[in-house]
Amino acid sequence: MNKRDIIIIGAGHNGLVAAFYLAKAGLKPLVLERRSVVGGASVTEEFHPGFRCSTLATSAGPLLPQIINDLQLQKYNVEFIKPSVQVCALNHGAPICIYDDAERTAGELTKLSSKDANSYSDFVATFERIGRALRPLLTMTPPDIDAPTKSELWHLGKLGWKIRGLGKKDEYRLLRYGPMAVADLAAEWFANETLRAVVAARGIFGAFAGPWSAGTSAPLLLQAAISGNAISPTIFVKGGMGALTQALAKAATDAGAEIRTNAEVKSIEVKEDRVAGVVLANDESIPAWTVVSNGDPGVTFTKLLDYAAVTPSFRTRAQNYRSHGVVAMVHLALSSLPKFSYRTANRSERDNEEFSGRLHIGSDIDYLERAFDAAKYGDFSPKPFMEITIPTMGDPSLAPSGAHVMSIHAQFAPYKLNGYARVLRADSATGAGTPEARVPSDWDSRREELGDAIVDALTEYAPNLKALIVGRRVLTPLDLERTFGLTGGHIHHGEMSLDQLFAFRPFIGAAQYRTPVKGLYLCGAGTHPGGGVTGAPGFNASREVIKDLKR
């Protein structure tokens, strides 16, 4: 059988980006995807007759501008929808909206506190500056920390120079923020509790961490590098995220890549310390010179690679890589837009602007930390931190006329349930509760209970919600693992904590997209700079593969 140039395992957006660049370099990549659709965590699916939505990621990272240009995504009719509202926090008083326009946001915040309004402008400008200085990091291959090459040291030096250029105040901020708990960072900037919670939310999005966990400010710095703002923007794609990955797939195939769906890789073959190809679930063997895995580090190193292919210490590192998911998704098919109880007389029912971005539920830092407490002890939170999107506000094509889709990203729902419903479930206000009760510890028997709890929690803010639900899909962390191949149900292919970032992502020995097996590479969110629909891991990995092949 002819040996393939390159096989890419997985057609997530990073695998597709890598396929495009490798094909552009004159190679003939074959992309093998286990599902019947490409896109990985960036897909659009019908979850109820006539209702479609982005099943997992709802908003684009954003994608690196260079990728948008190189792949000429406009040519493939990709339309980004950027609502004026990034996020709107609901609580039992007036909502707090963060707009795309920082001045407008500061203006609105003046109604709450002139001090917070002033701080907001400074906050935005500070993270914009820090983000600009850090941006080169996104497309940099992390150095080998045991033996950095001259070129790696040169790139690090250039980055250091950029950081020096920030001036002492921002430089110290940057150094302090990385290891800080995001609750502390938010409190340094703002007095309003809800505003603090909105800021803190970025630090714990998808993380097995609460706002008081150390290092939760680091994702804000990363977000600032990606988007120029610590609070991530909301960027929908017309037709859902699947429209984006369909376009990436088209760009890759137009460049010369081949994509096969329903092609699950069962194992990566290694001969004499060198990759030799892959074997599919149907036992088809495909020899290849190079294999690039878009599967997460858990999939690649503990499922697909033979035990003996790497050293015991490497394997231990792979096993110790933390990938405990905490996110559940609930999609609701709604007959109409729900009424939110916060709406006051001076707000018109027709003025729906605040629904156009993300809705945040988590009134204060304590609320977010309590939501995390449940996961720490192996149970899901009855009052979860939620980020809600109603994509039909900007893209009515996703539902029948007049109807809406509501997607709820809910934390915390831990991958591993301990089988006890704890006092948190009883009376979190007084601290008194019923004793622990034995409950099933498997997600299959608790999926709908989780869905009910999330809908109940949201009904506090939208009292008529239940009456409008005509269909629902609940996805637990186990579903994220089983259906989408995410180890431990982790949305970022592994925790984005300081010990698993940059030269430590996923871990030492595999942090430069290369692995100890010659010819085997990683290109997914488990590599630098991590999760989010940015395309950066795929872009960086393809560059390293091309570099090695040229050598």
Ligand X SMILES: Cc1cc2nc3c(=O)[nH]c(=O)nc-3n(C[C@H](O)[C@H](O)[C@H](O)COP(=O)(O)OP(=O)(O)OC[C@H]3O[C@@H](n4cnc5c(N)ncnc54)[C@H](O)[C@@H]3O)c2cc1C
Q: Which stretch binds ligand X (CB under 6 A): 28-36, 146-154, 454-462, 506-514?
A: 28-36
Our CB check for ligand X shows the closer of 48 and 493 to be: 493
Among 177, 511, 531, 544, binds ligand X (CB under 6 A): 531
Please list every residue from 248 through 277 that binds ligand X, using CB under 6 A.
Answer: 264-265
Among 44, 59, 141, 381, binds ligand X (CB under 6 A): 59
Strands 96-99 vs 385-389: parallel, antiparallel or unpaired: unpaired
Please list every residue from 279 through 318 that binds ligand X, using CB under 6 A.
Answer: 294-295, 299, 304
> Are 362 and 201 in contact, with CB atoms under 8 Å apart?
yes
Q: Let me know how many helices (H) and strands (E) the chain has, helices first.
A: 17, 20
Our CB check for ligand X shows the closer of 64 and 166 to be: 64
Task: Assign residue 534 a region (left: φ > 0; alpha: ψ between -120 and 50; beta: otherwise).
Answer: alpha
Distance of CA 219 to the CA centre of its chain: 11
Please list every residue from 427 through 446 that binds ligand X, using CB under 6 A.
Answer: none
Q: How far apart are CA 170 and CA 432, in angstroms?
A: 45
Least separation in angstroms between residue 535's CB and ligand X is 8
> Are 476 and 328 in contact, with CB atoms under 8 Å apart?
yes
> Are 132 and 228 in contact, with CB atoms under 8 Å apart?
yes
**Binding residues for ligand X, total number by CB under 6 A:** 42
Least separation in angstroms between residue 249's CB and ligand X is 11
Our CB check for ligand X shows the closer of 242 and 524 to be: 524
Task: State yes or no: residue 209 binds ligand X (CB under 6 A).
Answer: no
Among 7, 23, 29, 34, binds ligand X (CB under 6 A): 34
Among 95, 485, 506, 519, binds ligand X (CB under 6 A): 485
Tell which residue, 507, 486, 144, has the closest CA to residue 315.
507
Our CB check for ligand X shows the closer of 314 and 484 to be: 484
The pair of structure tokens assigned to 498 is 């300081």
Phi and psi of 424, rounded to 5°? -50, -35
Task: State yes or no: residue 53 binds ligand X (CB under 6 A).
Answer: no
Our CB check for ligand X shows the closer of 12 and 425 to be: 12
Least separation in angstroms between residue 119's CB and ligand X is 27
Least separation in angstroms between residue 27's CB and ligand X is 19
Q: How far apart are CA 512 and CA 504, in angstroms?
A: 9
> Are 539 and 17 in contact, with CB atoms under 8 Å apart?
yes
Tell me if residue 299 falls in helix, strand or coil: helix
Task: State yes or no: residue 14 binds ligand X (CB under 6 A).
Answer: yes
Task: State yes or no: residue 33 binds ligand X (CB under 6 A).
Answer: yes
Please list every residue from 384 through 423 that binds ligand X, using CB under 6 A.
Answer: 409
Q: Which stretch binds ligand X (CB under 6 A): 26-34, 126-134, 455-463, 507-515?
A: 26-34
Burial class of residue 39 (count of CB atoms within 10 Å of its CB; 0-12, 13-18, 19+): buried
Angle (deg, nearest 10), helices 241-255 and 13-24: 20
Task: State yes or no: residue 202 binds ligand X (CB under 6 A).
Answer: no
Q: How far apart are CA 66 and CA 108, in angstroms?
A: 34
Least separation in angstroms between residue 96's CB and ligand X is 20
Strands 4-9 vs 285-293: parallel, antiparallel or unpaired: parallel
Task: State yes or no: residue 86 binds ligand X (CB under 6 A).
Answer: no
Burial 112-130 (b: 16+ CB within 10 A, else e): beeebbebbeebbebbebb
Tell me if residue 419 falls in helix, strand or coil: coil
Task: State yes or no: residue 32 binds ligand X (CB under 6 A).
Answer: yes
Our CB check for ligand X shows the closer of 226 and 468 to be: 226
Least separation in angstroms between residue 246's CB and ligand X is 13
Q: Which stretch binds ligand X (CB under 6 A): 78-86, 129-137, 429-437, 524-532?
A: 524-532
Tell which residue, 176, 207, 208, has the closest CA to residue 189.
176
Among 474, 525, 541, 545, binds ligand X (CB under 6 A): 525
Nearest residue to ligand X on Cβ basis: 12
Angle (deg, nearest 10), helices 182-189 and 218-227: 70
Phi and psi of 321, rounded to 5°? -60, 130
Our CB check for ligand X shows the closer of 237 and 374 to be: 237
Among 10, 391, 494, 519, binds ligand X (CB under 6 A): 10
Please list every residue from 327 through 346 that binds ligand X, using CB under 6 A.
Answer: 327, 329
Applying CB under 6 A, the residues found at the interface with ligand X are 9-15, 32-35, 40-42, 56-61, 264-265, 294-295, 299, 304, 327, 329, 409, 480, 484-486, 491-493, 524-525, 531-533, 537
